[in-house]
Amino acid sequence: QGQLVESGGGLVQPGGSLRLSCAASGNIFGIYTMGWYRQAPEKQRELVATITSRGTTNYLDSVKGRFTISRDNAKNTVYLQMNGLKTEDTAVYYCKAQRATVTYWGQGTQVTVSS
């Protein structure tokens, strides 16, 4: 059974940076599309960024130019580099792996942007 474990969340001031990591195990990764989603209090979960097995990326409009998703297939890890953080980026960030109808979610990591 596959497992995703996120890390790297925390408290940061507006304008600051964080890098989230998601380590995959249990034969998840190579051919999976990996993604980062987030859910703020009282809001629906939303897609932040995805990256296909071939490296094609897609971003939520509000994070374009500030966030970068990348993957290291040798380490079975996907990253989300977040720069220029804003208070509205505060949320629990979740990692997702998907291939066809098979989906895995991580447990989430809290990102709080506050002065």
pLDDT tens digits, 9-27: 999 999 999 999 999 988 8
Please give the mean pLDDT across all residues of the chain. 95
Helix (H, G, I), strand (E, B) or coil at 61: helix
pLDDT tens digits, 28-84: 877 899 999 999 999 999 999 999 999 999 999 999 999 999 999 899 999 999 999
Mean pLDDT of 83-102: 96
Contact 77, 70 (CB under 8 A): no
CA distance 64 to 22: 20
